[in-house]
Amino acid sequence: MSDILVIGGGIIGLLTARELVQAGAAVTLVEMGETGRESSWAGGGIISPLYPWRYADSVTALAGWSQHHYPRLCAELHEETGIDPELTPSGLLILDSEELSQALAWAERHQAETRILDGEHLQASEPELGPRPAQALLLPEVAQVRNPRLVKSVRRFLDGRITLREQEEVLELLVEQGRARGVRTPKGEILADQVVICTGAWTAKLLEQLGSMPEIEPVRGQMILFLAHPGQINHVTLHQERYVIPRRDGHVLIGSTLEHTGFVKATTAEAKEALYRSAVELFPILKRTPIEDHWSGLRPGSPSGIPYIGAYPGIEGIYLNAGHYRNGVVTGPASARLVADLMLGREPIIDPAPYALAAAR
């Protein structure tokens, strides 16, 4: 029997397990598939919400804490596991100018560094860029991480430190006299004093038996990957809801779609064509660049993008850490720390009230 059972092996579950292990807890993690292979693998790894001024302060608080701690986290993981998550300070270049006043007001309120680039400076900053707006907004401190490498490094860190059960679906939460007792899987019961649910888009399904469910639904996102050359594109670039992410080795990602298709994860030719058009409009050089891959993932959509972090009401020992929508990677470290604080009775890093199941969203 473990002290704590973590359900879900995406980046949220993996980082939560890491926080709990580092605090001395005995942890079992159960994952219905393979760790880190769902939305954690499929996303872009931008360490910032897109258009961050559009989000509630509760999302900004999680993102800000994580942004501050990411350099140390990635350095520790690289040293401990030999896997470099490739944290890269690319900056976030936003070409949409319609909300510039809101963006600058948000930046001033949260002390986020910003620069306004005019045509000449924009040309110097991104020579291959297609659109040439009169002004663009640069958030120079925004970084990116190569999320497949991040989940691999956290997974390797946990080797030998937790009991890991992959390819094992949780069929039922076990509750006795108002408190958690563990879970039931096809292989039997897994007992634990506390259970934390980090199951992303599948969370509402799992909690259906308890009656009160979070508003989390799957939202499909498709991306394509170009095999380009290093140095052709300098910044993570955002325009009309599409983003381009240049990796260190020259790979370039373009994303992403927002599709309410339930749990259907298949890719479509229509989305691939739409993403390709957006990519070559933003950076015409990509017309001469082969497409290497096309994939999709299911984000855990939640109202206003505010995740559910904290105790499940009415049942002692069950906690949630789910519903991060498009911001699982950027808010992951803070979310893991916050839920660990609450489970272990520590002083929370930030006010947990906005993330409660009953909180208004």
The residue ranges of the chain whose pLDDT is under 50 are none
Residues recorded for the chain: 361
- Whether the CB-CB separation of 253 and 44 falls below 8 Å is answered with yes
Tokens at residue 121, please? 């400076």
Using only C-alpha atoms, the chain has a radius of gyration, in whole angstroms, of: 20
User: Which domains are present in the chain?
Assistant: 1-88+143-216+303-361 (3.50.50.60), 92-141+217-301 (3.30.9.10)
What does the pLDDT read at residue 212? 83
What does the pLDDT read at residue 360? 76
- Whether the CB-CB separation of 197 and 230 falls below 8 Å is answered with no
* Other residues' Cβ atoms within 10 Å of the Cβ of residue 217: 19
Please tell me the distance from the alpha carbon of residue 255 to that of residue 289, in angstroms, as a whole number. 16
Q: pLDDT tens for residues 140-167? A: 999 999 999 999 999 999 999 999 999 9
Environment class of 336 (CB within 10 Å of its CB; exposed 0-12, middle 13-18, buried 19+): buried
Closest listed residue to residue 194, CA positions, set 15, 20, 14? 20
What does the pLDDT read at residue 211? 85
What does the pLDDT read at residue 87? 98
Environment class of 313 (CB within 10 Å of its CB; exposed 0-12, middle 13-18, buried 19+): exposed
Spell out the SS3 assignment of the chain.
CEEEEEECCCHHHHHHHHHHHHCCCCEEEECCCCCCCCHHHHCCCECCCCCHHHCCHHHHHHHHHHHHHHHHHHHHHHHHHCCCCCCECCCEEECCCCCHHHHHHHHHHHCCCCEEEEHHHHHHHCCCCCCCCCEEEEECCCCECCHHHHHHHHHHHHCCCCEEECCCCCCEEEEECCEEEEEEECCEEEEEEEEEECCHHHHHHHHHHHCCCCCCEEEEEEEEEEECCCCCCCCEEEECCEEEEECCCCEEEEECCCECCCCCCCCCHHHHHHHHHHHHHHCHHHHHCCEEEEEEEEEEECHHHCCEEEECCCCECEEEEECCCCCHHHHHHHHHHHHHHHHHCCCCCCCCHHHCCCCCC
